[in-house]
Amino acid sequence: MRIACPNCNKEYKIQDEKLPVGKKIAVKCPACKNRIIIDLRSKSDQKKSPQASNPDEKQNTAVSFNKKSLSGMTLKYGILRTLGDLPVMPQIVQKAQEILANPDSDLKELSRLIEIEQAIATRVLKLANSTYYGMSGKVASVQHASVLLGYKTLGELITLAGISGLLGRSLKGYNLNSEELWRHSIAVAIGSRIIASRKDPEFGNEAFFAGLVHDVGKLVLDQHVYQRKDDFEMVMGDGQQTFLNAEKKILGFDHSEIAFELCQKWQIPSNQRVAIRFHHYPSKSKGHELAYILHMADCIAMMNGYGTGNDSMMYEMEEGTLEFLCFQDKDVNAIRSQVLESVEKMLEKMPAA
Ligand SMILES: [Fe+2]
Ligand SMILES: [Fe+2]
């Protein structure tokens, strides 16, 4: 059984055979010496005699995790062993990214990609006509779009059109409807590009794609979070914990670790993969610039209301992020309004699939 001390949050694993089933016991936290109450009674017994008439006891009751469910490395390896069941990146998106990354490729290769996929072509056309791309209503065909918007932008349109079905899903474990993850992903993609382009305009497309898929780990973890809904509610019940912290406490790892593995399977280049791995704590990335960019864009998306749940306002930008990227507070405000305006323009023609 894994428990967390309610005083110092330190987590411990206690061998199940050492625990007296059906009883309530007290142990001392080895780290802070706080007295921890562990309630091992069944849920129905706990209901019959609600714990802790004494507020002190209530406060010291340990956060314990469902011992029937797997967690930590066992669960992580279990998920990774079934790589074949993980979400598949649409082939068209993979192809478009390959073409964009190859300096010798050209517009013809991209156009050929969508010729056979009518549904994608329709979405590309719709998106090309959004005010975001400045061509409102003027683009009549995909060929026309490629001439007016250029090769890189066409690649981006194919990517967006191809991936919207994957990111536009509802996630019941995370409590997200089908629009929320999509809007958040678009906001982080746009923010990442705006931030990256301030550093180096060439860097914009790479940052856009990494921002778009940065939270794909949630697609994989959703069913496992859902199965442990009670544990998540218990950990997050006091409103003091983010979903990210709860993932760590309950599962033993978070969605960025799973996203990293998934991106490996999708053959996403290492620079983007590492950035996605550290998008919540870029200071651990050993100075990876794109990780800081994704983190800043993620926080800006949440500040703008494009979050992924009720706890969005609790996420804070990691200390040192602005200094690392050589930005000041006034830059955050400017980028924030730029993102807000751009996301609305893009989403008007591109709701989730
Ligand atoms: Fe995330
Ligand atoms: Fe995110």
Q: What is the CATH number of the domain that holds 318?
A: 1.10.3210.10
Q: Are strands 11-13 and 2-4 parallel, antiparallel or unpaired?
A: antiparallel
Going from the Cα of 243 to the center of ligand 1, the distance in angstroms, rounded, reads: 10
Lowest mean pLDDT among 21-30, 56-65, 166-175, 242-251: 56-65
Going from the Cα of 299 to the center of ligand 2, the distance in angstroms, rounded, reads: 8
* pLDDT, mean of residues 31-39: 76
Going from the Cα of 160 to the center of ligand 2, the distance in angstroms, rounded, reads: 17
* pLDDT, mean of residues 138-154: 82
Give the ligand whose atoms come closest to the C-alpha of residue 259.
1
Sheet holding 63-64, edge to edge: 11-13, 2-4, 63-64
Q: 140 and 30: one domain? A: no
Lowest mean pLDDT among 129-143, 161-175, 266-280: 129-143
- Residue 161 is classified by DSSP as H
Going from the Cα of 150 to the center of ligand 1, the distance in angstroms, rounded, reads: 31
* pLDDT, mean of residues 129-147: 82
Give the ligand whose atoms come closest to the C-alpha of residue 242.
1
Lowest mean pLDDT among 20-29, 142-151, 265-274: 20-29
Give the ligand whose atoms come closest to the C-alpha of residue 307.
2
Going from the Cα of 106 to the center of ligand 2, the distance in angstroms, rounded, reads: 32
Going from the Cα of 121 to the center of ligand 2, the distance in angstroms, rounded, reads: 28
Q: 36 and 143: one domain? A: no
Give the ligand whose atoms come closest to the C-alpha of residue 189.
2
Residue 70 located in a structural domain:
no
Q: Which residue has the higher pLDDT, 68 or 185?
A: 185
| Cβ count near 259 (within 10 Å) | 24
pLDDT beyond 80 at 288: yes
Percent of the chain with pLDDT over 70: 82
Q: 28 and 112: one domain? A: no
pLDDT recorded at residue 106: 76
Whether the full predicted model's pTM is greater than 0.85, yes or no, is no
Categorize the per-residue pLDDT at 45 as very low, low, confident or very high, splitting at 50, 70 and 90.
Answer: low
Q: Which residue has the higher pLDDT, 323 or 203?
A: 323
Residue 80 located in a structural domain:
no
How distant, in Å, are the alpha carbons of 85, 131, 145 from that of 139? 38, 11, 6
Strand partners, 39: 24
- The string of pLDDT tens digits covering residues 105-114 is 877 788 888 8
Residue 289 located in a structural domain:
yes
Going from the Cα of 137 to the center of ligand 2, the distance in angstroms, rounded, reads: 32
Residue 160 located in a structural domain:
yes
Instruction: State how many domains the chain has.
Output: 2
Lowest mean pLDDT among 30-44, 61-75, 268-282, 315-329: 61-75
Q: 106 and 223: one domain? A: yes
pLDDT beyond 80 at 58: no
- Residue pair 175/309 in contact (Cβ under 8 Å)? The answer is yes
* pLDDT, mean of residues 51-65: 56
Lowest mean pLDDT among 56-65, 127-136, 310-319: 56-65
pLDDT beyond 80 at 13: no
Q: 178 and 102: one domain? A: yes
pLDDT recorded at residue 67: 44
pLDDT recorded at residue 281: 96
Residue 352 located in a structural domain:
no
Q: 125 and 7: one domain? A: no
Residue 23 located in a structural domain:
yes
Going from the Cα of 316 to the center of ligand 1, the distance in angstroms, rounded, reads: 12
Q: 14 and 129: one domain? A: no
* pLDDT, mean of residues 223-240: 87
Going from the Cα of 73 to the center of ligand 2, the distance in angstroms, rounded, reads: 23
In single-letter form, the type of residue at position 201 comes to: P
- The string of pLDDT tens digits covering residues 60-89 is 566 555 544 666 777 777 777 665 666 677
Q: Which residue has the higher pLDDT, 30 or 247?
A: 247
The long-range contacts involving 134-140, CB below 8 angstroms and separated by at least 24 positions, are none
Going from the Cα of 308 to the center of ligand 2, the distance in angstroms, rounded, reads: 7
Going from the Cα of 261 to the center of ligand 1, the distance in angstroms, rounded, reads: 14
pLDDT recorded at residue 322: 97
Going from the Cα of 31 to the center of ligand 1, the distance in angstroms, rounded, reads: 30
Q: 169 and 256: one domain? A: yes
pLDDT recorded at residue 49: 63
Q: Which residues surround ligand 2, an ion (CB under 5 A)?
A: 215, 298
Categorize the per-residue pLDDT at 272 as very low, low, confident or very high, splitting at 50, 70 and 90.
Answer: very high
3-state helix, strand, coil in the chain (%, to 5): 60, 5, 35
Going from the Cα of 43 to the center of ligand 1, the distance in angstroms, rounded, reads: 33
Residue 270 located in a structural domain:
yes
Going from the Cα of 98 to the center of ligand 1, the distance in angstroms, rounded, reads: 25
Residue 215 located in a structural domain:
yes
CA 272, CA 275: separation in Å to the nearest integer? Answer: 5
Going from the Cα of 298 to the center of ligand 1, the distance in angstroms, rounded, reads: 7
Categorize the per-residue pLDDT at 352 as very low, low, confident or very high, splitting at 50, 70 and 90.
Answer: low
pLDDT recorded at residue 116: 72
Give the ligand whose atoms come closest to the C-alpha of residue 260.
1
pLDDT recorded at residue 68: 47
* pLDDT, mean of residues 44-54: 57
Going from the Cα of 51 to the center of ligand 1, the distance in angstroms, rounded, reads: 35
Q: Which residue has the higher pLDDT, 337 or 147?
A: 337
- Mean pLDDT, the chain, rounded, equals 83
pLDDT recorded at residue 125: 87
Give the ligand whose atoms come closest to the C-alpha of residue 302.
2
Going from the Cα of 117 to the center of ligand 1, the distance in angstroms, rounded, reads: 31
Q: 152 and 225: one domain? A: yes
Give the ligand whose atoms come closest to the C-alpha of residue 299.
2
pLDDT beyond 50 at 141: yes
Going from the Cα of 72 to the center of ligand 1, the distance in angstroms, rounded, reads: 19
Q: 96 and 183: one domain? A: yes
Give the ligand whose atoms come closest to the C-alpha of residue 191.
2
Quote the domain boundaries for residue 246.
Answer: 85-347
Contacts of residue 234, defined as CB under 8 A and 6 or more positions apart, other chains included, come to 63
